[in-house]
Chains A and B, each alone.
Chain A
């Protein structure tokens, strides 16, 4: 999953935040290949893979769905995000500020910061499951919502506080470790799958597909409390688990450094290493656990990795979790700091980390990670539609792009209402219409775009409008 950063330009950057990136700072294709490969091979991949099995997915549905969904994600970066990024060369926040006004961007930052906190909380949970192996503590089960033991609370607290302190004071050290660890981590993830397959009794490549259907992704009933997943669930989940980044436009901040928009093809490295191979490998480990101990439905990345690859596997979970929680906490801190600009970054990051630690104590977030990730994308997605429309379509529909900057307002209500109404509509459809959250993102994006066009035409002052 996502969020994170293993190359220079996504480290805490204090450059070109309010101006276009100059030519001398542009980066080549390989920078984006490396960044996305590292960024999307995170500790949380070890949660997501098993949750597909818990949802009773079949082999064709998971492999085909992941292939198609990841392809659509790459195409979204290439054709929606990057073309705007290389033309404007602005950060998401600056571009939003021009369109929406300072106060509305503050509200967006608050939503963004809170979602990042919970995501970092899930990463703390993953790391605590690895630490828990060393200390043999009682760990949460698949359907646990609340912390289930004092040992678990203490483990999460220790891991969370350590990660927080490092994010606040040692960001660059961990960012460097992330860069160094990335190639090794990818191979350890592949190793999980190979070892798990052999433990399931698969002894040759030719045996893999028939045994995968019989033993791994059997397509049976989901585990208790889980939604049954089909091809479409998997495809939309894979496409939209990074919805905030591509159609939500958060990665404008990344691709503003790209020499050409096609460099966004580099995102395929993260999608197919992290969101294809790593998820499938983690699935295989979980299938092996269910096969060896049928009553054990716990999704605990630490024990899963340790049983397959020993101490190296456990280290991979810790490094993957730590190196992705680090920038996630940092980004959450930046989002909150934008709301309180006078506060110190270190204090804000410490506060953010403690909030994430508190969230990490509740296993429900990690155990319901598929739903949480979908919600995270949904919350931020409408603003991506607003940016897309404002950049490409505003003049065709005869309203002023960058309206807040042009008119000097703090809140562009057309953008604000498009955001809130779309989100409210999507959540209403999920909660009252019985449509699953994975399926509302796509129509939601078009609804946000249409709302923004109509509301801008109605609400922009005539003297400013085109």
Chain B
């Protein structure tokens, strides 16, 4: 369970930084960037408490 949660956390961190990078390179518009960052944020805060600081 913890291993899965760690993986999900890692993916959500990538999901936090990748949309801005895609926006920078012109592959994503700003609204979609903001939306994906919010999704990644929600996933991070859902998955990370499962394995961190327990």
Within 8 A of A (CB), among B1-54: 12-13, 16-17, 19-21, 23-26, 30-31, 33-35, 37-38, 40-41, 44-45, 48-49, 52-53
For B41, the closest partner residue in chain A by CB is A312
Q: Does A180 lie within 8 Å of B34, measured CB to CB?
A: no
* A-B residue pair count with CB separations less than 8 angstroms: 71
A313 to B35, CA, bound (A): 11
Q: Does B40 lie within 8 Å of A180, measured CB to CB?
A: no
A195 to B21, CA, bound (A): 8
Task: Tell whether A395 is near chain B: CB-to-CB under 8 Å.
Answer: no
Q: Does A312 lie within 8 Å of B24, measured CB to CB?
A: no
A187 to B37, CA, bound (A): 10
- Report chain A residues within 8 Å CB of B41: 184, 188, 311-312, 315
Task: Tell whether A309 is near chain B: CB-to-CB under 8 Å.
Answer: yes
- Per DSSP, chain A at the interface is helix
Q: Does A198 lie within 8 Å of B24, measured CB to CB?
A: yes
Given contacts A183-B13, A195-B33, contact A312 B20 (CB under 8 A): no
Q: Does B13 lie within 8 Å of A187, measured CB to CB?
A: yes
- Per DSSP, chain B at the interface is helix
For B31, the closest partner residue in chain A by CB is A310
Q: Does B37 lie within 8 Å of A313, measured CB to CB?
A: yes
For B21, the closest partner residue in chain A by CB is A194
Q: Does B34 lie within 8 Å of A310, measured CB to CB?
A: yes
Q: A425: shortest Cβ distance to chain B, in Å?
A: 46
Task: Tell whether A398 is near chain B: CB-to-CB under 8 Å.
Answer: no
For A199, the closest partner residue in chain B by CB is B30
- Report chain A residues within 8 Å CB of B23: 194-195, 198
Q: Does A312 lie within 8 Å of B16, measured CB to CB?
A: yes
A194 to B37, CA, bound (A): 13
Q: Does A311 lie within 8 Å of B16, measured CB to CB?
A: no
Interface flags, A287-322, vs B, CB<8A=1, else 0: 000000000000000000000011111010000000
For B39, the closest partner residue in chain A by CB is A312
A191-B19, A197-B24 known, 18 other contacts, Cβ within 8 Å = A180-B45, A180-B48, A180-B53, A183-B13, A188-B37, A190-B20, A194-B23, A195-B20, A195-B23, A198-B24, A198-B26, A203-B25, A309-B20, A309-B33, A310-B33, A312-B37, A312-B40, A313-B34
**Interface residues of A, Cβ cutoff 8 Å to B:** 176, 179-181, 183-184, 187-188, 190-191, 194-195, 197-199, 202-203, 309-313, 315
**Interface residues of B, Cβ cutoff 8 Å to A:** 12-13, 16-17, 19-21, 23-26, 30-31, 33-35, 37-38, 40-41, 44-45, 48-49, 52-53
